[in-house]
Amino acid sequence: MTTEAAVRATQGERTRAMRLRLMEATVDSLVELGWSGTTTTVVSRRAGVSRGAQLHHFPSKQALVVAAVEHLTDRRRDDMRRHADRLTGDHRIRGVLDILADQFVSPVFFAALELWVAARTDAELRESVAPLERRIGRETHAYALELLGIDETKGDNRQLVQATLDLVRGLGLAASLTDDARRRATVLDSWATVLEHELEMS
């Protein structure tokens, strides 16, 4: 009641849970069915949410997808943080490359890829996705520097890290059609050697 402090299913919680279910379903749908396969009807069905409720929380497909993108960034960040512990002292560079590459060969990346490509030809969508993607890029860059434990002002360090991120993005794109883990591993092995030679460690 009014005086009862421990009321469970408050509206705020219900709202948050409902929005989360819809966003998760959107991400899953993007991964499985792609951008054009991700219709509002499909999402509502997968989330077990009525069309009315869906439209209540997200008045348009645009709103739903943008929210899902934002949600995606959290998942990406969490994923990365979670794997950062695996790093051992030696072969550190190779380990960092694996963490980064895993980020770009994952369902989360594929969902983001769908948005990325769709945003290229959808002005309204791009307006939401582009700045977000830039922010994620910066965050990932900073995180890579931190994991590698290097100073980006030294030598070509900054460019090398940028190149590394572009590389794993390219590897991720390649993996989306045919996932050749062995090829990826050998390329990363070679790249690690290059970085060991070229990076200016502190």
Partner DNA sequence: ACACAAACAGTCAAGCCTGCTTGTTTGTCT
Partner DNA sequence: AGACAAACAAGCAGGCTTGACTGTTTGTGT
In the list DNA, its own copies, none, the entry touching 95 (Cβ below 5 to 8 angstroms by class) is none
Residue 34 CA, chain-centre distance (Å), reads 16
In the list its own copies, DNA, none, the entry touching 122 (Cβ below 5 to 8 angstroms by class) is its own copies
Contact positions vs its own copies (CB under 8 A): 32-37, 110, 113-114, 116-122, 126, 129-130, 133-134, 156, 159-160, 162-163, 165-174, 176-178, 183, 186-187, 189-191, 193-194, 197-198
Does position 144 interact with DNA (CB under 7 A)? The reply is no
Of 24, 28, 32, 61, the residue at the interface with DNA (CB under 7 A) is 61
Does position 32 interact with DNA (CB under 7 A)? The reply is no
| CA atoms of 73 and 183, how far apart (whole Å) | 28
| CA atoms of 194 and 197, how far apart (whole Å) | 5
Does position 56 interact with DNA (CB under 7 A)? The reply is yes
Phi/psi of residue 201, each to 5°?
-75, 155
**Span of 13-21, 73-81, 86-94, 151-159 interacting with DNA by CB under 7 A:** 13-21
Does position 91 interact with DNA (CB under 7 A)? The reply is no
In the list DNA, its own copies, none, the entry touching 167 (Cβ below 5 to 8 angstroms by class) is its own copies
CB-facing half-sphere around the CA of 116: CA atoms within 13 A: 14
Per the listing, tokens 């994620």 go with 136
Burial class (CB in 10 A: 0-12, 13-18, 19+), 144: buried
Q: How long, in residues, is the chain?
A: 202
In the list its own copies, DNA, none, the entry touching 190 (Cβ below 5 to 8 angstroms by class) is its own copies
Helices 107-120 and 157-177: crossing angle in degrees, nearest 10, is: 90
Does position 75 interact with DNA (CB under 7 A)? The reply is no
